[in-house]
Amino acid sequence: MSQDTLIRRHFGHRARLVLSPAGVSKADGQAHAARTMWNLLHAWWQMMPKEGRTFANADAAIRQARQDIDFLAVLPAQAAQAVLKTYVQAWRNCWDGRAGAPRFKGRDRTVMSVDIPQGRDLNIVRVHRRWGQVNIPKVGRVRFRWTKGLPVGKCADAENRITGARLVKDALGWHIAFRVQTLEIKPAPHPGSEVGIDMGVTVAIALSNGGTYRHGEWLTGKEKARLLHLEQRAAQRKSHRRPGEPTSRRLHRTYDRIAGLRAKAKRRALDWQHQTTTAIARTYATAVVEALTITNMVKSAKGTIDEPGRNVAPKAGLNRAISGQAWGRTITMLTYKTVRHGGTLHKVPAPGTSRRCSACGHTTPGSRESQAVFVCKYPDCGWSGNADHNAARNILHLYRMGHALVPAAGRAVVRRAKRVKPAAAR
């Protein structure tokens, strides 16, 4: 087979781990040690002079720290090296203008995680159809939920293999995220048609051909009632805590239950997004979406003391609804799934797509009568229809007229050029 017909693909796969209480304690200890290693490395970086901030000196510092501090010895040596590489990359991202400067990691605001950089250390074995086993350094053999075919055993080679993994803990427990590399046949051009996609709050996804993708509530009625009860209980227990007094274990347990219900809702939303974006990528050759600046759309309307905002409560509710739909995550999924199925995704300018009439092309004030109905007020038109479908048709029209945006790779660097590293930090 010709090399032109093959393509190397890198992707991740996340699976649920089944850890014993002792295994959970070991994984927690490694995660806390990794966070402490980051903080020590950041403190060392700030204290060292400019000429002493080298990769070799930093490597020697973390090796000495693992010998002097017994608590850090629970972290495997390769995981400690991964912390160093991640920290150095964080500074490179800051110097290139892609991110802010690294900071100390707090216990409460940091996701607990441990990196396993070498895939050969995992020794993955499939036990049967539903379960597999993986070797985690300094934890042991652990079962995980097998939901996707992985290149292990006889299926693994130099081009199809697992290059590493990362342990991540959320409100539902510990998970393992595998980094997978495969060599696949390059997909043929998709034979489907073009479609415009409008993402909204009432209708999650509306298509230019009249199709829609909707979803219900992510939590059942009993689960929402339970969540409300736990939030009220947490607020009551928090009100009885004196200033400066540490949080009680009982309140921590309440917070954990709240986080568990919210994580369950997020997981259901992710499953719906994956199924929906996969269906769109398999059906259509070209998907066209709006280039939305979501961070500006969800800004608060409170204003200032001198100039207070208006309609603060409705705007706050709209911001929560937009954030709950996770439009950016949907676009990200569509981007790589359309490419995988031989299609493409394009973005067009967002202004005016919801106010313009897709039948006559005029933008007349008052045409958007409600969130769901669009009635053109232009005298010679009078077209009426669903507002979301009208916006999706306008999105597709902009693409066909040649208004697709070309992503600018250096835009972020130019916008944050003034935040280049100071001389003392180089």
Q: Which of 169, 185, 201 is the last residue of a domain?
A: 185
Torsion angles phi and psi, residue 9, rounded to 5: -120, 135
Do 417 and 285 lie in one domain? The reply is yes
| Tens-digit pLDDT profile for residues 203-226 | 888 898 888 899 888 999 999 999
Q: Is residue 15 part of a domain?
A: yes
Q: Is residue 238 part of a domain?
A: no
Q: Is residue 37 part of a domain?
A: yes
Do 130 and 277 lie in one domain? The reply is no
Please name the residue that has the structure tokens 């090796």.
Answer: 63
Strand order in the sheet with 131-136: 113-116, 161-170, 173-185, 6-18, 140-145, 131-136, 125-126
Report the pLDDT value the prediction gives residue 306, as an integer from 0 to 100: 65
Instruction: Judge contact between 19 and 27, C-beta under 8 A.
Output: yes
| Domain membership of residue 426 as a residue range | 187-217+266-426
Do 174 and 274 lie in one domain? The reply is no
Tell me how far apart the alpha carbons of residues 46 and 54 are, in angstroms, rounded to a whole number: 13
Do 200 and 328 lie in one domain? The reply is yes
Report the pLDDT value the prediction gives residue 271, as an integer from 0 to 100: 92
Do 155 and 171 lie in one domain? The reply is yes
Q: Which of 137, 166, 185 is the last residue of a domain?
A: 185
The structural domain count of the chain equals 2
Q: Which of 165, 185, 205 is the last residue of a domain?
A: 185
Task: Give the three-class secondary structure for 420.
Answer: coil
Do 158 and 40 lie in one domain? The reply is yes
Q: Is residue 27 part of a domain?
A: yes
Q: Is residue 389 part of a domain?
A: yes
Instruction: Judge contact between 358 and 367, C-beta under 8 A.
Output: no
Report the pLDDT value the prediction gives residue 416, as an integer from 0 to 100: 35
Do 273 and 412 lie in one domain? The reply is yes
Series of mean pLDDT values for 10-residue runs along the chain (426 residues): 74 91 93 93 90 87 87 90 92 89 88 90 88 92 90 83 92 91 87 88 86 90 94 90 84 91 92 93 91 76 68 76 83 91 89 83 76 79 82 88 66 35 42
Torsion angles phi and psi, residue 346, rounded to 5: -130, 155
Query: Token digits for 77?
Result: 């040596």
Report the pLDDT value the prediction gives residue 276, as an integer from 0 to 100: 93
Do 20 and 34 lie in one domain? The reply is yes
Do 327 and 181 lie in one domain? The reply is no
Report the pLDDT value the prediction gives residue 33, as an integer from 0 to 100: 93
Q: Is residue 257 part of a domain?
A: no
**Residues 315-354 as b or e (16 or more Cβ within 10 Å = b):** beeeeeebeebbbeebbebbbebbbbbbbbbbbbebeebb
Do 170 and 291 lie in one domain? The reply is no
Q: Is 62 left (phi over 0), alpha (psi -120 to 50) or beta?
A: alpha
- Could you tell me which of 335, 310, 8 has the C-alpha nearest to residue 158? 8
Residues 6+ apart with CB under 8 A from 253: none
For the CA atoms of 111, 113, 115, 116, the dihedral, rounded to the nearest 10 degrees, stands at: -150
Do 392 and 416 lie in one domain? The reply is yes
Q: Is residue 398 part of a domain?
A: yes
CATH number (domain holding residue 301): 3.30.420
Q: Is residue 209 part of a domain?
A: yes
Report the pLDDT value the prediction gives residue 418, as an integer from 0 to 100: 36
Do 23 and 157 lie in one domain? The reply is yes
Q: Which stretches within 144-204 are classed as H helix?
A: none
Instruction: Judge contact between 215 and 246, C-beta under 8 A.
Output: no
